[in-house]
Structure 1
Amino acid sequence: MSAVLSRPHFTFEDYLAWEETQTERHEYIGGEVFARTGSSTTHNIISGNAAIALRNQTRGTPCQVYMADVRLHVQAADASFYPDVFVTCSAADAERRTVQQDALLIVEVLSPSTEGHDRGDKFAAYRLLPSLQAVVFVAQGQPHVEAFTRNADGSWTLFEASGLDAQLTCATAERSFVFPLAELYAEVDFSAASAEASTESAAKTAAARSGTSA
């Protein structure tokens, strides 16, 4: 996420109308808009693999899988995001065409420039979604996945899996989702991922020194 854009305070409706006129995607948080940064090839491969795995598991059900270019509105946080991948099984979402609101499961592929935001403010906002049952964080540089699942009392439990021979299961109130790490990381070149991460970290440092935040 780049620095906040210089513009008067938005309402959410202002943001939606303005975003339709833009060539780049922007997220919205509390009246401010932030330009989305581009993703690495590794990030793109993993996101695609996660979407395919989830589509295979939800085929023939009311659930839909979205990635990258579909907005998710978190009303309680006055925010709108573009999750890497998310699943919604909501009949109300099925009727919506521009913004979804009832995500059941969200997947975020972590990058050096966005990991702090993904794990921090964005994760806090996501947890305000009444529909949300699981958030999955996927590392790029090594086969490692973390899943936070919501308990009946509203607390969250962390499950982790590492290694290409492992798999992680997210059990939600609606259904269970299985993530074999060999499928999530199919065609990932970890040496290239490390090089991309180093480049991204250097860019983030340079941006910080110039007075912007990546």
Structure 2
Amino acid sequence: MVPPARCQTRMRVEDFRAWVEHRPGDGRWELIDGTPVPQSPQTSRHQRIVANICCRLDALGERRDGHALPGLGVLSAAMEDHAPIPDVVVTCGPLGADGYTSDPVLLAEVLSPSTQQTDLGAKTRFYRTVPSLRVFLMVHQETARVEVWRRGDAGWSMRGVGPDDTVDLPELDGTLAVSEIYARAGIV
């Protein structure tokens, strides 16, 4: 994996967006803790899991004028030095034209060995600052396990689910079976 680009000072989202606009078109970048970080191509297993999640969540979201999209950047006014790109983002209402959203209702990250520490650390902290976000999923890639992070009246809580479980998604008036997430991904 390519190391993060080095900056003398922490980059803010506004500067990052201008910077990334002038990057070559063959790579994607996200901003984590004020540092631009390149995204590597994903394995076929990772992509299969993302496709499964995206298809199921898009079907659920359609009933609420929602869209499940891969590769949409997420912004939060609470953290001006982050612009991560989760694997799947669900938004409701009109789509923005710039590839970013600040009002996701649900998102999913498929954990990779090279990014797992960032996904479970800096990105999890960031996602918890997005006011519109109700739930996010941290999806393990090597085993059928999903961490379901949900915002409730008392704050955020996390619950792990396994291969025989179903994730309730009242935000989309539906459910997502863990078996659907891993269908055809070669995980038992």
1:184 to 159, 181, 186: 181
Aligned residues of 1:160 and 1:168 also touching (Cα < 8 A)? no
**CA drift at 1:124:** 0.2
Structure 1 segment 77-92 matched on structure 2, within 5 A: 77-78=79-80, 79-89=82-92, 91=93
TM-score between the two structures when normalised by the length of structure 2: 0.87
**CA drift at 1:30:** 4.7
Identity of aligned residues (%): 26
**CA drift at 1:56:** 1.1
Aligned residues of 2:48 and 2:185 also touching (Cα < 8 A)? yes
Number of residues of Structure 1 aligned to a counterpart in Structure 2: 183
**CA drift at 1:128:** 0.4
TM-score between the two structures when normalised by the length of structure 1: 0.77
Aligned AA for 2:165?
A: A
Runs (5+) with no aligned partner, structure 1? 192-214
Runs (5+) with no aligned partner, structure 2? none
Give 1 or 2 for the bigger CA radius of gyration: 1
Aligned AA for 1:161?
A: V
For 1:168, the equivalent position in structure 2 comes to 167
1:76 to 75, 78, 97: 78
Aligned residues of 1:111 and 1:140 also touching (Cα < 8 A)? yes
1:25 to 21, 24, 28: 28
Q: For 1:167 and 1:95, how far apart are their aligned partners in 2?
A: 28
For 2:159, the equivalent position in structure 1 comes to 159
Distance change in 2, residues 1:178/1:17 (3 Å): same
Aligned residues of 1:54 and 1:177 also touching (Cα < 8 A)? no
